[in-house]
Amino acid sequence: MEIATALTIDELARETGMTVRNIRAHQSRGLLPPPVVQARTGYYGPEHVARIKLIQEMQADGFNLASIQRLLQGATGAVEEALGFKRAALAPFGEEEPEFATLEELDARLGGAVDERSLRQAEKLRLIRPLGDGRYEIPSPTLLRAGEELIELGVPLRHVLAVAERITRHSRAIAETFVRLFVQDVVGPIRKGGSDRPEDWERMRVAVERLRPLASEALHAGFQQTMTRAVERSFADVLEP
């Protein structure tokens, strides 16, 4: 550890948002490795910051300090990798930033056709999420914009919501198929022997991160082919003399 870039216990407390007292308590429990002592001053490095953040995350997940201590002492370094896999697996699949709108703004965007029934259906499909005081979160602005454009083309709102319901239902089945495939064929063989090695958790983290673009690309390619065939069949009927 380079002392010039190391932290004193007060600086470590500010960096991690903990109190000096709690840091010392973690040290006495064996949750933190000891600092490097020079000239009677203890210095802490990036590994101490990372360990404290790991403990904080585990506490947020419901672990008490006794459980964290057992895991850190018995997992031979695998806890960090296990939590890395958990973060990768549970991270939101998309990167869309939600939008926010009032009921009046939603009604205007959807052709003035929003009523109580359509509002409840949109909430059930998680297209919107009520925040109170007449305000709504729109988790996927892309989906809402697609609905807006369909309405502009003359499609009634009730038909747009019916399509959204089918998209949700079929997407759920496809997503569950991919997850089942991953759990059975990727995670299963790695975890079969009950291994808790850091490299096994790291392999699973890398695999779940690769699964994201693979699933999206496969679904997109399959949908393009299916849509092409559906359009060809439909327009053949329309254009037939």
Comparing 92 with 188, which gets the higher pLDDT? 188
- 209 is a domain residue: yes
If DSSP codes are grouped into helix, strand and coil, which group holds residue 98?
coil
- 30 is a domain residue: yes
Whether 55 and 115 map to the same domain: the answer is no
Give the CATH number, domain containing residue 58.
1.10.1660.10
Residues 34/27, Cβ–Cβ less than 8 Å: yes
Quick one: which of 181, 185, 187 has its CA closest to 200? 187
- C-beta neighbour count of 48 within 10 angstroms: 26
Q: Give residue 161's pLDDT band: very low, low, confident or very high (50, 70, 90).
A: very high
Q: Give residue 166's pLDDT band: very low, low, confident or very high (50, 70, 90).
A: very high
Whether 159 and 219 map to the same domain: the answer is yes
- 186 is a domain residue: yes
- 81 is a domain residue: no
Whether 118 and 212 map to the same domain: the answer is yes
Q: What angle do CA 39, 25, 16 make, to 5 degrees?
A: 80
Q: Which domain holds residue 13?
A: 3-74
36-57: pLDDT as tens digits:
998 888 999 988 998 898 888 8
Quick one: which of 87, 118, 117, 114 has its CA closest to 102? 114
User: How many independent structural domains does the chain possess?
Assistant: 2
pLDDT average, residue stretch 169-190: 85
Amino acid in position 61: D
Q: Kindly list the distances between the CA atom of residue 69 and the CA atoms of 34, 53, 63, 87, 197, in Å, as whole numbers in the listed order.
A: 15, 14, 10, 20, 18
Q: Does residue 72 have a pLDDT over 70?
A: yes
Whether 16 and 67 map to the same domain: the answer is yes
Q: Give residue 19's pLDDT band: very low, low, confident or very high (50, 70, 90).
A: very high
128-153: pLDDT as tens digits:
999 999 999 999 999 999 999 999 99
pLDDT at 116: 93
